[in-house]
Amino acid sequence: MIESLKHLGTASDGNETLAARFTDLAPPLTARQALIESERCLYCYDAPCTRICPSEIDVASFIRNIAHDNINGAAKVILQANILGGSCSRVCPTEILCEQACVRNHDAEAQPVKIGLLQRHAIDHMHFEKHPFSRAAATGRKIAVVGAGPAGLACAHRLAMMGNQVEIFESQSKPGGLNEYGIAKYKLTDNYAQREVEFLLQIGGIHINYGQTLGKNLQLQDLQKKYAAVFLGIGLGASRALGLTGEDAAGLLPAVDYIAELRQVQDLSSLPVPTRALVIGAGNTAIDMAVQIARLGAEDVTIVYRRGAEAMSATGHEQDIAKANQVRIKTWAQPHSVLLDDAGKVRGMRFEKTKLDGGKLVATGETFELSADAIFKAIGQSLDTHSINDPVAANLQKDADKIHVDAQFRTSLPGVYAGGDCVAPDQDLTVQAVQHGKLAAAAIHHDLTLQLEAKHG
């Protein structure tokens, strides 16, 4: 039970009925559909879909393999670039990346090649007798990876391929990071995040330690002494505050906390569900929260954003999902104050209307109120400063609320690298985190090899 919502009633429908509302958002392609769709691809030279892919998947190559009925070949092309290609095929915003760049994405064609669904088809139907990648000769080095999210897992897998031993330290009881705890249940179904990690670990040379939290029972200074290098894939563990009185009242909580509970609970009917819900934010987390609470039975769900819909970081596709689930999106309004009932519980929120004045967002002074039994904050997350509070970690250079890294993902501390959401300057995407981990692994291996060569002259 989520403590802040324990005063609310639970879902009115049973678990079986609710579970049916959290099946795949996009049904997979059949073999025939995949073949037909793959033959729409022009296999472009210097393909724009590949150039825009954050993990540099050779899209034309894997689709050509599908067209030639070589599913294992297609899967290996994907996994060489993105070892978490299965989850990325489900959660990546292909509509603003590879599919938007597709040369068939014009009025005459009506739609681009379904790259995301084809990628999923290849990964879902691959059948290797053993792990498709083998380990290089052992280097004798042990490297620490903090965080078993997409960045940490991708880094660990690539390091293991290069012959290194990897120790992962994870604070939760399961690996996967946001794929396990933070993605809408209807996007990653059937325990997919765990099955993907199991596949990744088949490379060998990787051991995961659970219940290990940087800044609590794990210190960076100790890792530096024990391991040849350290990679930080710690994500963003602190939810940003609205800065309003009453923010700690029962009924107001971070959206990520509810999503994590929803993804782990065995009986969906045991979840607390408000009749009226407000979601503050404009990104994919806001959409995921609003849609899921609506599917659980909330009768009135509204997303509120301080700017216009065109400025929302959630894609148009995500916004359409919200509207299809009867979620209202109210724009040009910012939180003004939390409204509480006589018992000190949330009963709604007062908002102030906003507008642009000379390109700057300003409040108009005009307010209105929306009633709600629960308010979910989806206004972003920041680096949890407790995780980098030991004497060594405190010296990490920051860029605003992110860890500063150079082009090779080196931090300001020797032998310490970082990637994923804790450094990401752009969108916080799973595919971007995977790329960070992959490139950081290459940099770590390269740097350590150079050090060894220099030592032996």
What is the tens place of the pLDDT at every residue in 237-268?
888 999 999 999 999 999 999 999 999 999 99
pLDDT of residue 368: 98
- Structure confidence at residue 209 as a pLDDT band (50, 70, 90): very high
3-state SS, residue 118: helix
Q: Average pLDDT for residues 394-410, to the nearest whole number?
A: 92
> How much of the chain, in percent, has pLDDT values that exceed 90?
88
Choose among 320, 293, 294, 298: nearest CA to 309: 320
pLDDT at 208 over 80: yes
**Whether residue 151 has pLDDT greater than 70:** yes
Domain over 240-380 is classified CATH 3.40.50.2300: no
| CATH code reported for the domain at 31-124 | 1.10.1060.10
pLDDT in tens, 306-343: 999 999 999 999 999 999 999 999 999 999 999 999 99
Task: List pLDDT tens digits, range 280-308.
Answer: 999 999 999 999 999 999 999 999 999 99
For residue 391, the model assigns a pLDDT of 83
Cα(276)–Cα(413) distance, rounded to whole angstroms?
Answer: 48
Beta-carbon contacts of residue 103 (< 8 Å; ≥ 6 apart): 42, 44, 48
Q: What is the pLDDT of residue 367?
A: 98
Is residue 108 predicted with pLDDT exceeding 70? Answer: yes
* Spatial distance between the Cα atoms of 398 and 405, rounded to a whole number of angstroms: 8
Cβ pair 151, 433 in contact under 8 A: yes
Judge whether 86 and 193 are in contact, CB under 8 Å. Answer: no
* Residue 181, φ and ψ in degrees, nearest 5: -115, -15
pLDDT of residue 304: 98
Question: What is the domain partition of the chain in residue ranges?
Answer: 31-124, 142-237+383-456, 240-380
What pLDDT was estimated at residue 176?
Answer: 97
Q: What is the mean pLDDT of residues 187-198?
A: 96
**CB distance 123 to 114 below 8 Å:** no
Q: What angle (nearest 5°) sits at the alpha carbon of residue 66, between those of residues 52 and 128?
A: 100
CATH code, residues 142-237+383-456: 3.50.50.60
- Both tokens of residue 81? 């670039």
Which residue has tokens 């009917």? 269
Q: Are 84 and 153 in contact (CB under 8 A)?
A: yes
Contact 283, 319 (CB under 8 A): no
Residue 387 has a pLDDT of 83
Give yes or no for a contact between 56 and 438, defined as CB atoms under 8 angstroms apart. Answer: no
* Cα–Cα distance for residue pair 75/389, rounded to 1 Å: 42
**Residue corresponding to tokens 């390109």:** 359
Residues 354, 361: contact at Cβ < 8 Å? Answer: yes
**Average pLDDT, stretch 399-428?**
89
- 378 touches 385 (CB < 8 A): no
DSSP per position, 168-179: EEESSSSS-THH
Residue 163 CB coordination number (10 Å): 15
- Closest to 39 measured CA to CA, from 126, 120, 118, 121: 118
- Please report the pLDDT score of residue 457 as a whole number: 61
Q: What is the mean pLDDT of the chain?
A: 94
Query: Do the domains 31-124 and 142-237+383-456 sit in the same CATH topology, yes or no?
Result: no
